Structure 1
Amino acid sequence: MNIEQNKPAGSDRLDRLFPEAARVASLPPLETEVPVLLLGGGSNAVAAARSLAGAGIRVSIAGRPGNWGMASRHCASTHLAPDGMGLSEFWGALLLGEDRALDGHVIFALCDESIEFLSTHYAALSRRYLTEDSDPELRLAMLDKMDTLERARAVGVPVPDFWPVAAIEEVEALRDRIRFPVMVKPIHSHLFVPVFGAKLFIVEDSFEALLAAARRAMDAGLEIMIVEMVPGPDDLLSSYYTYIDKGGQSLFHYTKRIIRRFPVNRGGACYHQSEWLPETAAMGRRFFEGIGWRGMGNIEFKRDPRDGKLKVIECNPRFTAAHRLVVAAGLPIDLMIYRSLTGQPVPVIEQGQTIMRLWNPIRDFFAFAELRRRGELGMAGYLRSLGGGGQRVLPVFSLSDPAPSLMRLREEGRRALGRLLRR
């Protein structure tokens, strides 16, 4: 990617905020004696295991059976949570018990449950392991979607309108205040998804439908808020990644944008592009520096076509599902963090100049089909979007390491069959 191309007005000033993006340093020799333990995760566990083990680091994974990373040939050992035992209880027994076989590992939390565990037991874990730099209370706060928006607004980062609601009467009180479409969004996504199989509920234009969706979540005992949905297509979404060490220094800056998601406007991204976006980086940096962040951080924005502002969608204090794209684009952020935690020099590396895309062909075709039904994308436009040069990587599949993708296909096949049988 050439950061001199397609610059918006004022981007020269923004580039000066990120002098690291103009310098490249060669990697000093890596010492790999300290092993790594990954807690939970999905496609990010696969990508991290491949990246770290590819550099000669021993990688283990602890979590539930079915973790895709555990099937990778780059995973040296696995620690499986027994049936009926919660993950927090399992990780506590594994890492804080009398068995000290894993002491000294670098620990990466790759899912909300492991972030909650690591943050809750941060002091005890830090005495025995090399844990990511973080303020544990602030990291826990990023699992709270409303807290994230409140902190963003407090440091001058634009957010969509949102309303906390604890009772259906409070939803009723919003009848004349909200603009559709809106989302019924959980305060804690990792509690909502297992119940409903979705990250949120979208309500297009009916207040009665909003009441029903809110009541459904409340009846399940879940905390929610009503959030204005930023209008416009999914390609208005972009993300910023960084890691701020205990001294307050950023190890890297990285941005990407979304091309498509499935389901459209609500699902996970199925087509991303690595691209240096100075305005996204500046807004992300304002957020993380403003709240006093330490550790790994990713924040997602969507540009509001009504006022042109980037507005916060969510924050993830961990490696994301796009981790393979970040590494493939030339920014080995997992190895950079590993260097920092093990006391090794961390080079400054610019975001790669090569156009790089992360593509899930099956889900992306479903996204195209949905957009075509809505009259928003034709076959010619879809084919053009798949061209344009550059390299592509798939979220999980690798010819040299096929087992994780086979596990994923079996899992998704079982889910699809289950949906058909329930109809």
Structure 2
Amino acid sequence: MDNKAVVLGANYYIGLSTIRCLGIHDVHVAAVDYSWEGAYGLESKYVSEALIAPHYKKDPEGLLSFLIDYSKQQSKTPVLIPTADPYVEFVDEHLMELREHFLIPQKEQGLYTKIMDKGTLHTLASEHGVAVPETVHIDEENFLQKVEEKIQFPCLVKPVDSPAFVSKFRRKLFKVFTEEELLEKVNMAKEENIEVIVQRIIPGFDDHMYTFDAYLNQYSEVTHWVTCQKLRQFPVNYGASVYTQQKYVPELYDLGKKFLEGIQYKGFAEIEFKKDEQTGQFYLIEINVRITNLNSLLYKTGINMPYITYRELTGNPVEPKAVEKDMNLVFWYAYEDLLAVREYVKTGQLSIQKVLASYFRPKAHAIWDAKDPKPAFAFGKKMAGLVAGKVRKTS
């Protein structure tokens, strides 16, 4: 394992699970973040080098120079794995320069960004025969009339660029119930220079959300895949997975494979679908082009996406594999799941009895690992500090 793996992002559990998935195979992991504060992934025993680099947003040129300088010091070309959307955007913007110094699955500059952009993603999906929710762009003529006729209320105001929207509003979207509310949210986004679209709500509770997680080799062929079903998310109804089960759904393979291979994608991708509870049709909602929140669950099913990436790019690919049965495994991000459960119960969407019954299953934890406990303790310390800060602010 002469090639090192450079993991971008260690202040969230996605980066942590990526570090672990590589480290358990004795890959030399250089974990990169912009600050020691809150970067609990750097505490993992699987981190061979902990590196503090310039901020991707405040000093992107500095980060680019930092990474290139690091690569030049190595005897073998390192593998580069971004674990958060802003790092993916950074890699995509500088792809040609970075590919001269790192092993990266994607070769087409701009494809990551095109997929992360809701507008261009929907165009691509339609071109490849994958259904997407009915959408109206706010710059269309008579857009309010089109919303009334094509979408109706309530509906969703969603960002074209999710990272910028989440950074500003601390949520993934706005749900609106009236024309007045729609205009208010659209104007809020305009004031922040954030482009948004209006979209129909696909009927169905949160357990109608599914994922197709796949790795595509350098020939844009799906070699590894697994499907999952969300059970709970946070924020509730329109958030990230906090309690999700592996669930074999062959129809998602047919849809996901056709689309990803059709756009000549390479590397890891996760397509989120929602199943219409009335028609049974699956709609493509979004695609994650960085390692997924569910990475620890995929690993427990036998699909180690970071290591699959590493092995293929270093010339020793892992044998193809798919999970084609239900393994009774669930992903659990305990901290946010507890917050979600409180909201689900409060709004009458779930009962306490149903929630408690769901917990008696083997789990893939977001942060906790008995063989690598230090990150969990560091996360606990971080959360305790946040609570203490709120208490001081209140008093």
User: What is the TM-score with the length of structure 2 in the denominator?
Assistant: 0.90
The verdict on how the C-alpha distance between 1:84 and 1:274 changes in structure 2, with shifts beyond 3 A counting, is closer
Question: How many residue pairs align between the two structures?
Answer: 388
CA contact (8 A) 2:116 2:286 kept: no
Q: Deviations over 1:56-97 (max 9, x none)?
A: 111011222233322212111122134797252232111235
The verdict on how the C-alpha distance between 1:377 and 1:416 changes in structure 2, with shifts beyond 3 A counting, is same
2:2 maps to amino acid: E
- Further displaced range: 392-401 or 351-360: 351-360
Deviation at residue 413 of structure 1 after TM alignment: 4.6
In 2: Cα distance, 1:98 partner to 1:59 partner: 13
In 2: Cα distance, 1:313 partner to 1:277 partner: 17
CA contact (8 A) 1:64 1:87 kept: no
In 1: Cα distance, 2:297 partner to 2:329 partner: 7
- Further displaced range: 94-103 or 235-244: 94-103
In 2: Cα distance, 1:53 partner to 1:237 partner: 31
Structure 2 residue matching 1:131: 3-state secondary structure: coil
2:98 maps to amino acid: L
Aligned to 1:334: 306
**Alignment equivalent of 1:381, drawn from 324, 347, 354:** 354
**Alignment equivalent of 1:274, drawn from 242, 246, 253:** 246
Matched, 1:37 2:6: yes
2:285 maps to amino acid: I
In 2: Cα distance, 1:113 partner to 1:158 partner: 27
Report matched runs for 1:97-176 at 5 Å. 97=69, 100-102=72-74, 104-166=77-139, 172-174=144-146, 176=148
Unmatched 5+ stretches in structure 1: 1-31
Deviation at residue 50 of structure 1 after TM alignment: 0.8
Structure 2 residue matching 1:78: 3-state secondary structure: strand
In 1: Cα distance, 2:334 partner to 2:210 partner: 20
In 1: Cα distance, 2:371 partner to 2:268 partner: 29
Deviation at residue 327 of structure 1 after TM alignment: 0.5
Aligned to 2:231: 259
Aligned to 1:286: 258
1:220 maps to amino acid: E
Structure 2 residue matching 1:142: 3-state secondary structure: helix
1:115 maps to amino acid: V
Report matched runs for 1:197-276 at 5 Å. 197-203=170-176, 205-276=177-248
User: What is the TM-score with the length of structure 1 in the denominator?
Assistant: 0.85
Structure 2 residue matching 1:128: 3-state secondary structure: coil
**Alignment equivalent of 2:366, drawn from 388, 395, 407:** 395
CA contact (8 A) 1:302 1:312 kept: yes
In 2: Cα distance, 1:85 partner to 1:140 partner: 16
Structure 1 residue matching 2:214: 3-state secondary structure: strand
Q: Deviations over 1:29-61 (max 9, x none)?
A: xxx221100112621111111111111111011
- Further displaced range: 270-279 or 350-359: 350-359
2:3 maps to amino acid: V
CA contact (8 A) 2:136 2:147 kept: no
Structure 2 residue matching 1:300: 3-state secondary structure: strand
1:52 maps to amino acid: L
CA contact (8 A) 1:175 1:207 kept: no
Structure 2 residue matching 1:251: 3-state secondary structure: strand
1:44 maps to amino acid: I
Unmatched 5+ stretches in structure 2: none
CA contact (8 A) 1:242 1:251 kept: yes
- Further displaced range: 346-355 or 356-365: 346-355
The verdict on how the C-alpha distance between 1:87 and 1:304 changes in structure 2, with shifts beyond 3 A counting, is farther
In 1: Cα distance, 2:147 partner to 2:281 partner: 26
In 2: Cα distance, 1:405 partner to 1:127 partner: 36
In 2: Cα distance, 1:247 partner to 1:262 partner: 36
Aligned to 1:312: 284
**Alignment equivalent of 2:47, drawn from 75, 86, 108:** 75
The verdict on how the C-alpha distance between 1:295 and 1:98 changes in structure 2, with shifts beyond 3 A counting, is closer
In 2: Cα distance, 1:422 partner to 1:181 partner: 35
Matched, 1:406 2:377: yes
The verdict on how the C-alpha distance between 1:162 and 1:412 changes in structure 2, with shifts beyond 3 A counting, is farther
Matched, 1:46 2:19: no
Matched, 1:60 2:33: no
In 2: Cα distance, 1:265 partner to 1:84 partner: 30
